Structure 1
Amino acid sequence: MKDRSERAVVPLVAAVALAVAVTACSAPGGKSASGSAGAGGGAVVVGIAKDPATLSPLLGYGKGGNSKIFDGLLTHDAGMNLKPALATGLPKVTDGGLTYTYELRSGVKFSDGVPFTAKDVVFTYDTILDKKTNDASKSELDAIENVEAKGAGEVVFHLKYSYAPFAERTVLPIVPEHVVSGQDVNAGNFTTHPIGTGPYVLTGWSKGEKLTFKANPHYWGGAPKVKDFTMAVIADDDVRATRLRSGDLDGAVLPADLAATFKNDGTKKTYQADTFDYRMVSLPSANEVAGDASVRRALDIAVDRKAMVDGILDGAGKEAYGPVPTGGKWFAKGTELTHDLPAARRILDEAGWKPGADGIREKDGRRAAFTLWYPSGDTLRQKFALAYASDARKAGIQVDVQAGTWEVIATRRKNDATLGGNGNPADPDFVQYPLLYSKLAGIGLNNTGGYDNPAVDAALDAGRTEHDPAARKAAYDTVQRELAKDPGYTFLAYIDHVYVVDDAFDGVSTQTEPHDHGMAAGPWWNVQDWRPKK
């Protein structure tokens, strides 16, 4: 739930000094990144905000695709539609949705030259599902009963129950059994020195500094034109912008305000990616104020979402009314909310929450007050938290904003509100089920507010088991309409991800992006297809 691109401001002099200090170790050959690319098209260096925790798909790396080193059975195109990767086509679904059969691409080899086979697919999924493997997202594969290899070229997934979006789960990268089987899955060499079938081969990883890749000349999809690719890890947004401006980077993820400073730079192009990346306030049911239905409904219309998008995001985003952004195919029309402070006050009046002497409402001797936590150092969430508290105060609700580490916040979630974030465009089940399903409340990061609505539970069950697209749409419409009547969260905004890239390449584009971005997502999602302009 940690956002990857919030801004920590440092003086420009310090930013320039740091940029000079680290330039030589991040640009291949010590050359200007953009100069290298422009001259021969052989190298690209981009700035990201944070290292990955691991490079092993067995521990969660690349589970949504775009891992550079690996391939899944399927992948996504620019429109986020599924297409074949290591499989030759989309799966054949039989037995009422309980069996998924994939024919595998022939002639594919891992980067060490060993052929890829169905045994590698079985090994990958079996290992992730092994209780000894520390993959926090293994529950996403809970539908799997077993995985069967039929010869070298066919894989069959047998499911415990019909799970409509299962094909989306098979973008998960495949690892080589011959390399990993003798290692400690959780701490072995493979976690930092992976081998895959993807378009690039990892050549080095200096944690906190950079990841370097070289093109896989034997890649089944065709050898990339960009031969050397570097991800420079630069936590500070200002330093990232400075290094981009100096020519040390070919591209970078930036906050909207910093990206705007490149507006008149004719050598750069700005990409603003639509996302499912939302920020919201989790309102715990266990809290006697935040869990009160009238307080939740009042807060839902007391917040000024447009002001937040305009003022906090510099317009790089859109108002959020639920777990699906407006305009998307899964959005339930009519669930939009209007900022209406007088109506919010009426809801509270009618529910018996009356203003006290200091303007804060009271009911049965209890003040309308609760605590809202955000992660320390996350200035974007801090701004949202303060804006939320300001809007709540106008309705007569006191929200006390507190910063803390994620470890501290984890101990407070049951009773205190949290400024959270998430989002995934692949399928509505991927966000809505763990966010809202009552039986998952309090399990890890699932349903942190303890939301419990039987109608929502029933609709979520229908949405994940029903294969008919119209029926699934109806189920998720029900979820959103129930949330509008009975909110357990105050959704605030969807955040566009903004990138600036040297205008020296053809083929650069963006996808609709998830919450987690900068490394797997970004204009470099398809860097293997970039072509230097003549």
Structure 2
Amino acid sequence: MNRKTLVLPAVVGLLAPALAACGGSDGGSDGGGSIVVGTTDRFIASKDAPAPLDPAYAYDVGTWNVLRQTVQTLMVQPRGEGAPVPEAAESCGFTDNGNERYACKLRSDLKFSNGDAITAADVKFSIDRALAIKADSGVFALLSTVDTVEVKGDKEVIFHLKTADATFPYKLSTPVAGIVNPDNYEKNKLRDGFEVDGSGPYVLEGEEKDGELVRAVFTRNPNYKGALKVQNNEVDMVSYEDAEAMGAALEGGDIDVMTRSMTPEQIEKLAVADGDVDLVEMPGLEIRYLAFNTEAPTVKTKAVRQAMAQLLNRDELVSAVYGSQADPLYSLVPASITGHSNAFFNKYGDPSVAKAKGLLEEADVDTPVKLTLHYTTDHYGSATKKEFEELRRQLNGSGLFQVAIEGAPWDTFVPAERNGEYDVFGMGWFPDFPDPDSYIAPFLDKDNFLKSPYANNEIRESLIPESRGEADRLAAADSLNRIQDIVAEDVPLLPLWQGKQYVAARDDVTGVSYALNSSATLQLWELGRGVSG
């Protein structure tokens, strides 16, 4: 087994140059049998979340990766990173100097997979629908700068924005901006279940069992017109209960490709073994963090949160659980993104029990502080439990905390978190797009997806709008640094680490190096069949 490391340019948000074309091939073909891809992502329709695949609701990496194959957006992130390029659109761009008017012209003969023609009115319907439904997942907030959507004829759509937003082209590349057919999606109601209708490169046919999508069959959409070059006729994505079951399926020949989430042990083993399976390492922008319900009695006092930040030893955490597969993170914005600062290291320096004790004493907080850390048992992989055991060890080892940990499956974890049942909980984040705004606004702006009670007026009213007004993201550095400094001071969230990405695949599968982009977007259209070896 061979380890192949793809080296891509550093991710620098909107500064990265756009490529001349999207898609492309690195040796695949559009023939051959179905390519079978394994994942540990679970797709469950429940009472609390009956519409997991509706673009107006979906807001996690797994469901977005289904929608990106099937629902087309006006813009798309190009192969090899860079600024977004037109996808369903023929052209898009700001038409004013203030980045407040954005116009797109649709491609000719654009159709939904059922053959219905797509018009500018369908684009307007889709955007207006997401904003009107205002789903509790919070995904609608990505479109929060939209004031009105204007249509001119069948081909032109004009977005009038409330404020300048240089990141808007990126937002039009996310599934919440996906174009849906008004015949299949009600204006003011989510579409329950696992049916998806769009104009993307594939048509979805799902296999459902007990309210869970266990197999998703993506068949090439004959009516697709866009920027992506599809390298296969069909991809089957199979959902496994855990990484061990997925790994056994790869070894047994039941799947061709293994994606997220593999265990650290699996990655280490695949990296040194020989055989007909290759491990590909790719840059990643995934982060992990602790989130606080800042109104909860146990952590309402800022000094408690600051003491946890002062005690956290990220180096030991990463070493004990993830090894070389992750790096310590000292801000919400990862190190490879323009605008990153080591705000938490600048504020707290090296871990110190004495400094943490001083913070608690100054605030008259009795010790040990008793609290529970909550985590999801199945969404980020089995290593999450070990990670929280290490966090518990560090905090309890200080003598200042008495911490318990408690895990729950994703389908019960998310509703509980949104209902404010957890005081402290662990989450991961895969960016909506590779820009610092995607690590700030979803957590700190109004209508944030965590439904956090934490609200800082300077961040919301001044700093976020200021940063979005700068098309040159380097020029936004002062605003972005100030935001990160405030987060380090108030600690509504506590960043832990940022990770790399891995895909394992049989060596007759081509395009694997492009199967994931830095935002963890699964690009199944890149996979093809080639010559083994």
Bin for the TM-score computed over the shorter chain: 0.7 to 0.9
Extract unaligned runs of 5+ from structure 2. 1-27, 45-51
Tell me whether 1:55 sits opposite 2:53 in the alignment.
yes
| Separation of aligned partners in 2, 1:127 and 1:135 | 15
* Aligned partner (choices 417, 420, 427) of residue 427 of structure 2: 420
Whether the 8 Å CA contact 1:456–1:478 is kept in 2: the answer is no
Q: Report what 2:20 is aligned to.
A: none
TM-score (norm 2): 0.78
Structure 1 residue 306: Cα displacement: 1.4
Note if 1:249 corresponds to 2:255.
Answer: yes
| C-alpha separation in 1, matches of 2:247 and 2:508 | 18
For residue 512 of structure 2, the aligned residue among 493, 504, 508 is 508
What pairs up with 1:21-60 in 2 under 5 angstroms? 41-52=32-43, 54-60=52-58
Residue in structure 2 matched with residue 68 of structure 1 by the alignment: 69
The CA deviation at 1:486 is 4.3
Contact conserved, 1:282 with 1:418, CA < 8 A, in 2?
Answer: yes
Contact 1:289 1:368 in 2 (8 A): no
**1:466 to partner: Cα distance:** 4.0
- Please tell me whether the aligned partners of residues 275 and 497 of structure 1 are also in contact (alpha carbons under 8 angstroms): yes
2:513 is paired with a residue whose SS is coil
2:237 equivalent among 231, 248, 269: 231
Cα deviations by residue, 1:129-157 (Å, 9 ceiling, x for unpaired) = 22487764223222222212211221111
Matches within 5 A, 1:99-248: 99-131=101-133, 136-171=138-173, 172=175, 174-177=178-181, 179-180=183-184, 185-187=189-191, 192-206=194-208, 207-221=212-226, 224-248=230-254
Note if contact 1:386-1:401 (Cα within 8 Å) is conserved in structure 2.
Answer: no
Does residue 369 of the first structure (1) align with residue 378 of the second (2)?
A: no
Q: Which amino acid aligns with 1:72?
A: T
Q: Which residue of 2 aligns with 1:84?
A: 86
Write the deviation string for residues 279-318 of structure 1: whole angstroms up to 9, x where unpaired. Answer: 2223444456644444444432422211211211132111
Distance 1:289 1:94 in 2: 49
Letter in structure 1 aligned against 2:230: P
2:469 paired with 1:478: no
Matching of residues 296-445 of structure 1 within 5 Å:
296-332=305-341, 336=345, 340-341=350-351, 343-349=352-358, 352=361, 364=364, 366-375=366-375, 377-378=377-378, 379-403=382-406, 405=408, 406=413, 407-410=415-418, 416-424=423-431, 425-437=433-445, 445=450
Q: Give me the whole-angstrom Cα distance separating, in 1, the residues matched to 2:341 and 2:134.
A: 41
**Cα distance in 1 between the residues matched to 2:203 and 2:389:** 44
Aligned to 1:34: none
1:397–1:386 distance in 2 versus 1, CA, 3 Å: farther
Q: Following TM superposition, by how much is the alpha carbon of 1:483 offset from its aligned partner in structure 2, in angstroms?
A: 3.1
One-letter amino acid of the structure 2 residue matched with residue 245 of structure 1: E
Higher RCO (CA < 8 A, seq sep 6+):
2
Change (3 A) 1:81 1:508: farther
Given the superposition, is the C-alpha separation of residues 494 and 453 from structure 1 closer, same or farther in structure 2, using an over 3 Å criterion?
farther
Structure 1 residues 230 and 310, CA, compared in 2 at 3 Å: closer, same or farther? same
The residue that corresponds to 2:467 in the other structure is: 463
Cα deviations by residue, 1:242-274 (Å, 9 ceiling, x for unpaired): 010111101112222113333313311112333
- AA aligned to 1:180 is N
- Go from structure 1 to structure 2 and tell me whether the alpha carbon gap of 1:52 and 1:99 turns closer, same or farther (over 3 Å shift): farther
In angstroms, what is the RMSD of aligned CA positions? 3.3
Question: Which AA in structure 2 matches 1:271?
Answer: V
Structure 1 residues 113, 398: CA separation in 2 closer, same or farther (over 3 Å shift)?
Answer: same
Q: Per the alignment, do residues 42 and 82 of structure 1 end up closer, same or farther by CA in structure 2, a change over 3 Å counting?
A: same
Counterpart code for 1:44? I
Task: Please say if residues 463 and 476 of structure 1, whose CA atoms lie closer than 8 Å, have aligned partners that are also in contact.
Answer: yes
Q: What amino acid sits opposite 2:473 in the alignment?
A: P
- Deviation at 1:66? 6.4
Q: Cα offset for 1:180?
A: 2.1
1:452 Cα shift? 4.0
TM-score normalised by structure 1 residue count: 0.78
Structure 1 residue runs without a partner (length 5+): 1-36, 354-362
State, as a whole percentage, how many aligned pairs show the same letter: 21
- Residue correspondences, number: 474
Tell me how far apart the structure 1 counterparts of residues 198 and 437 of structure 2 sit (CA, whole Å).
29
Q: Could you say what secondary structure the match of 2:142 adopts? A: helix
| TM-aligned CA deviation for residue 177 of structure 1 | 3.2
Provide closer, same or farther for how the CA distance between residues 208 and 124 of structure 1 changes in structure 2, counting only shifts above 3 A: closer
**Could you give the per-residue CA deviations for residues 325-349 of structure 1, whole angstroms, max 9, x where no partner exists?**
12322212576468734x4413533
CA 1:488/1:136 → structure 2, altered by over 3 Å: closer, same or farther? Answer: closer
State how far apart, in whole Å, the 1-side matches of 2:494 and 2:388 are. Answer: 11
Counterpart of 1:388 in 2: which secondary structure?
Answer: helix
The AA in structure 2 aligned to 1:427 is D
Q: Is the 8 A contact 1:143 1:161 kept in 2?
A: yes
Q: What does residue range 511-526 of structure 1 map to in structure 2 within 5 Å?
A: 511-514=516-519, 521-522=521-522, 525-526=523-524
Contact 1:210–1:232 (CA<8 Å) still a contact in 2? yes
Computing the radius of gyration from Cα coordinates, the structure with the larger value is 1
